[in-house]
């Protein structure tokens, strides 16, 4: 079962050597996927990392949960370089399928993506993020992104994987404008991630 570990390459090490990220870091941005083109970009990156790099079967790489998830895409200028998806449960959001192209596996890029997604999750009113990673990668998410090992739950073993997967959790602080049942109704009609931007339809109705 692939996880966030695929963001870091085969040996669980971040690329700390100079890359284009260091020269163009101000052009790195993370976006919520809201178009079919963006979704194709996300799928292409995942296929590169999961199928070509790690030999994961297509049926597992694209497991049937993509249409129940929110996807995020990372760009360097206009070039797609990373992606992650989030699924939503009653009391938490779950990070899955994080993938970054080899040349962009840089701590700055991964943090840019993760912090954007954390903010998005918190804005939606969720104060907890869960993910799963093998032990050699779990330490990275603990030290780099502030995750902690989930207490009271054992690791999960999957066929074909030498090491079990550890459940990790990160607590988030909700912003004052987190979306709740008391949020203005018009906000609930807006495009995912663009809750502060009135749509053209609102303007026409006004």
DSSP secondary structure, 49-106, as one string: IIIIIT---HHHHS-S-GGGEEEEEEEETTEEEEEEEEEE-SS-EEEEEEEE-GGG--
pLDDT for the residue numbered 23: 42
Residue 196 confidence (pLDDT): 92
Closest CA relative to residue 53, chosen from 115, 119, 1, 100: 100
Residue 69 gets the label, from left (phi > 0), alpha (psi -120 to 50) or beta, of beta
pLDDT given at position 7: 55
pLDDT of residue 200: 81
pLDDT at position 201 is: 81
Q: Whole-angstrom Cα distance, residue 69 to residue 178?
A: 19
What local confidence, expressed as pLDDT, does residue 24 receive? 52
Q: Which residues of the chain have pLDDT under 50?
A: 1-2, 4-5, 8, 10-13, 15-23
Question: What does CATH list as the number for 4-124?
Answer: 3.40.630.30
Q: Give CATH 3.40.630.30 domain extents, the chain.
A: 4-124
pLDDT at 163: 81
């Amino acid at each position: 079962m692939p996880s966030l570990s695929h963001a870091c390459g085969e040996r669980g090490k971040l690329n700390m050597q100079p890359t284009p990220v260091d020269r163009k870091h101000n052009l790195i941005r993370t976006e919520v996927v809201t178009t079919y083109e963006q979704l194709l970009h996300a799928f292409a990156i995942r296929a590169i990392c999961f199928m070509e790099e790690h030999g994961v079967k297509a049926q597992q790489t694209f497991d049937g949960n993509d249409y129940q998830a929110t996807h995020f895409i990372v760009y360097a200028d206009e070039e797609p370089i990373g992606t992650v998806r989030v699924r939503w449960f009653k009391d938490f959001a779950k990070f899955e399928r994080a993938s970054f192209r080899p040349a962009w596996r840089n701590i700055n890029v991964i943090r840019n993506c993760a912090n954007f997604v954390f903010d998005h999750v918190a804005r939606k009113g969720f104060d907890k993020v869960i993910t799963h990673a093998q032990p050699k990668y779990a330490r990275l998410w603990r030290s780099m992104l502030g995750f902690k090992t989930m207490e009271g739950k054992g690791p999960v073993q999957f066929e074909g994987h030498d090491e079990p997967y550890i459940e990790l959790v990160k607590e988030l602080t909700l912003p004052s404008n987190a979306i709740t049942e008391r949020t203005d109704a018009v906000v609930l009609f807006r495009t995912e991630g663009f809750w502060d931007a009135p749509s053209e339809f609102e303007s026409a109705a006004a």
